[in-house]
C-alpha cells in the first residue's frame, strides 16, 4: 500500500435497510427522503459511508432483491432525483454512498425474463438458465433453493425448467452469456455515472453455475431441524472458479471511475473467502464473527486464523450484523453488546455497522399475521423480519419512524431504547459507539495500524494495535465474572465512563462484559 490507505480502509460503513430506516411520507415504509433527513445523524455518529439495501423497482417478492429494472428507483422509495439528491447531500457531509448490486438474479417480471420465457427461440432465452426435465419429468438436478425446495421451476408453456437460487420469482441470470455480462456491467456504469462510490455485490458466490449441471453432493454433517438448504454441499451450484473472471470484469469497470469500492457478499469458509481478493473484491465480507461462539477462545482463534490467511496487501473487514441475521444484542445479550462494539471498532480492518445496532436494538418477535419475509413464511424459526424492524428514533408514536402504520411491528422497548434518549446520555451505547468511532478516526493505531494478538486469559481477550510508535492495548472480558490480567498504561476509553484516564500500573481488573483501551506503557 506504500503507506497510503484507501478511504474504505480508513473508514466505517453503515448499512441502511431503506424500508426500515426513516419514512418521510407516512406510508409506513422508509424511503430515500427519509435517509436524506437522517444524514446529519450519520455525520454526527462519524461513519464514512452508507450502504443502501436495494432501492430499485421491484414487485417486492423478496423486498427489493427481485429487481424488475436496474436503472431506476422504486416509487416506494422515491425517484432518481431523490437518489441524486441523496448522493449530493451525503457527499457534502463527507459520507460516501454504496449501492446493493444484485447480479445473480432478476424478478420474474423483469422484461428480460418475460422475453426469455416467451419461447425457446426468443433471443433472450439464453439470458437465464433453462434445462430440460429428466425423462421422468423431474428437475434437471438436485440443486436446492435457499428459500426451500428445489431450485428449479417448471414452465409449462415451453416445457423446460428455469433455475432460481432463491424464490421462483427470482430467476437466475446466465452470466456465461456475454450479452448478459455486458448488460449487467452497464448497470454498474449507470450508477457510477451518478456518483456512487461503490457496490456491495449480492449473492456473489452464486453468480456462475456448473455448466454440466452436476448434482450437489449430500452434506454428511446435516442434521434434522437445520436449514433444509444445508442438506447438500453446494459444490456445483455455488462458488465456481469462473466467478472470479466475472469479478475481474466488474473490477475493470470500477477502476475506470477512480477509487471505487467493491464488496462481495460471500458466506464462505475463510480459505474460499480470501480467494476473492485476488480477482478484485476489495472487501470479501467476513461474516464469521456472526457465527462464532461468543467466547474469548473462539473469537481469538477466528481472528488468528483470518489474519494468517489474508494474502499480502489484502485489507481485512469485520461484520457483526446485517439484514439477514439475528441482531448482535440478541445473540450476545445486552450486557455484552457494549463489548461487541469495542471489538468491532478496534480489530484491524474495515467495520460495517448495521442500522440500530448502535443503540442496542434487538430482534423483535413478529406475530404470524405480520410476517413479511417470504423465507420466514416458510420457516418461521429462520425468518429475517425480527432483525429488520423500524429504526427507533425517539419515544413518540411509532418511534419517530413514520406517521403511518409501520410495515413491521416496533420493539416494545422503543420508548427507552431510541436515538434521542441515548444521545442525551453520555453513558449510552450510542455514545460509546460515537466515542469509539472518534478514537478510531484520531488514532492511526486503530484505523490502519498493525495488529498483534496477545492471546487469551480465561474470559479475557487482548490484543495490541500499533502505528508509528504509538501502541494501544485492547482488553475485553467476554465472560460474566470479574477477571484480571497484568497490564500497564493509561485507559483512554472504556465501555463505561468511570475509568477513562485511569493509570494501570501492574494489574488490570475488569468486570464481566467490560472492555478497555489502554495507551500501553509496557
Cα 232 off chain centre by: 24
The three three-digit cell numbers of residue 423, written as one number? 444521545
Cα 199 off chain centre by: 12
Q: Which of 62, 82, 108, 202 is catalytic?
A: 202
CB atoms under 10 Å from CB of 474, counted, come to 23
The three three-digit cell numbers of residue 357, written as one number? 445496532
Specify the 3-state DSSP secondary structure of 331.
Answer: helix
Indicate the helix (H) or strand (E) that contains 219: none
d(CA 400, CA 487): 45
Q: For the stretch 271-300, what's the b/e string if a residue is b when 16 or more beta carbons lie within 10 angstroms of its beta carbon?
A: eebbbbbebbbbbbbbbbbbeeebebebbb
Q: Which of 265, 357, 385, 459 is catalytic?
A: 265
CB atoms under 10 Å from CB of 39, counted, come to 16
**Side-chain-facing half-sphere of 270: CA atoms under 13 Å:** 18
Q: In this structure, are residues 163 and 129 in contact, taking their beta carbons and an 8 Å threshold?
A: yes
Is 425 an annotated catalytic residue? no
Specify the 3-state DSSP secondary structure of 254.
Answer: helix
Cα 389 off chain centre by: 16
Is 169 an annotated catalytic residue? no
DSSP label at residue 128: B
d(CA 130, CA 117): 9
Residue 336 phi/psi, 5-degree rounding, is -100, -5
Name the burial class of residue 187, with classes exposed (0-12), middle (13-18) and buried (19+) by CB atoms within 10 angstroms of its CB.
buried
The three three-digit cell numbers of residue 304, written as one number? 488468528
Cite the active site residues: 202, 265
Amino acid at each position: 500500500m506504500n503507506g497510503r490507505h484507501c478511504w474504505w480502509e480508513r473508514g466505517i460503513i453503515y448499512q441502511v435497510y431503506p424500508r426500515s430506516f426513516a419514512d418521510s411520507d407516512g406510508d409506513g415504509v422508509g424511503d430515500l427522503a427519509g435517509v436524506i433527513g437522517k444524514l446529519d445523524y450519520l455525520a454526527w455518529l462519524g461513519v464514512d459511508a452508507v450502504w443502501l439495501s436495494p432501492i430499485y423497482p421491484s414487485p417486492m417478492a423478496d423486498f427489493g432483491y427481485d429487481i424488475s429494472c436496474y436503472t431506476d428507483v422504486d416509487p416506494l422509495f422515491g425517484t432518481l432525483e431523490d437518489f441524486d439528491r441523496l448522493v449530493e447531500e451525503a457527499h457534502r457531509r463527507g459520507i460516501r454512498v454504496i449501492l446493493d448490486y444484485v447480479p445473480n438474479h432478476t424478478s420474474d417480471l423483469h422484461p428480460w425474463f418475460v422475453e426469455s420465457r416467451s419461447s425457446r427461440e426468443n433471443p433472450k432465452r439464453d439470458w437465464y438458465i433453462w434445462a430440460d426435465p429428466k425423462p421422468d419429468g423431474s428437475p434437471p438436478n438436485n440443486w436446492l433453493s435457499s428459500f426451500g425446495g428445489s431450485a428449479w421451476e417448471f414452465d409449462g408453456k415451453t416445457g423446460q425448467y428455469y433455475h432460481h437460487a432463491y424464490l421462483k420469482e427470482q430467476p437466475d441470470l446466465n452470466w456465461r452469456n456475454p450479452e448478459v455480462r455486458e448488460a449487467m456491467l452497464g448497470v454498474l456504469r449507470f450508477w457510477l455515472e451518478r456518483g456512487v462510490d461503490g457496490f456491495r455485490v449480492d449473492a456473489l458466490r452464486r453468480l456462475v453455475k456448473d455448466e454440466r449441471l452436476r448434482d450437489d453432493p449430500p452434506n454428511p454433517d446435516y442434521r434434522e431441524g437445520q436449514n433444509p438448504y444445508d442438506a447438500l454441499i453446494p459444490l456445483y451450484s455455488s462458488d465456481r472458479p469462473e466467478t472470479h473472471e466475472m469479478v475481474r470484469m466488474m473490477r475493470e469497470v470500477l477502476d475506470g471511475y477512480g477509487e471505487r469500492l467493491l464488496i462481495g457478499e460471500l458466506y464462505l469458509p475463510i480459505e474460499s473467502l480470501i480467494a476473492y481478493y485476488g480477482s478484485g473484491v476489495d472487501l470479501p465480507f467476513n461474516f464469521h464473527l456472526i457465527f462464532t461462539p461468543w467466547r474469548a477462545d473462539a473469537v481469538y482463534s477466528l481472528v488468528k486464523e483470518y489474519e494468517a490467511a489474508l494474502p499480502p496487501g489484502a485489507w481485512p473487514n469485520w461484520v457483526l450484523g446485517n439484514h439477514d441475521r439475528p441482531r448482535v444484542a440478541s445473540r450476545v445479550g445486552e450486557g455484552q453488546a457494549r463489548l461487541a462494539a469495542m471489538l468491532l471498532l478496534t480489530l484491524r480492518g474495515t467495520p460495517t455497522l448495521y442500522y440500530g445496532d448502535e443503540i442496542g436494538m434487538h430482534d423483535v418477535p413478529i406475530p404470524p399475521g405480520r410476517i413479511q419475509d417470504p423465507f420466514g413464511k416458510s420457516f418461521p424459526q429462520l425468518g429475517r423480519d425480527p432483525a429488520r424492524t423500524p429504526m427507533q428514533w425517539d419515544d413518540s408514536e411509532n418511534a419517530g419512524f413514520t406517521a403511518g402504520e409501520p410495515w413491521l411491528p416496533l420493539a416494545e422497548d422503543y420508548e427507552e431504547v431510541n436515538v434521542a434518549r441515548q444521545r442525551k446520555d453520555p453513558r449510552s451505547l450510542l455514545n460509546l459507539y460515537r466515542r469509539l468511532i472518534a478514537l478510531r478516526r484520531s488514532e492511526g493505531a486503530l484505523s490502519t495500524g498493525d495488529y498483534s494478538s496477545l492471546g487469551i486469559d480465561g474470559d479475557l481477550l487482548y490484543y495490541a494495535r500499533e502505528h508509528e510508535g504509538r501502541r494501544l492495548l485492547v482488553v475485553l472480558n467476554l465472560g460474566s465474572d470479574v477477571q484480571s490480567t497484568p497490564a500497564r498504561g493509561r485507559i483512554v476509553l472504556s465501555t463505561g465512563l468511570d475509568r477513562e484516564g485511569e493509570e494501570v500500573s501492574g494489574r488490570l481488573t475488569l468486570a464481566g462484559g467490560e472492555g478497555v483501551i489502554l495507551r500501553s506503557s509496557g
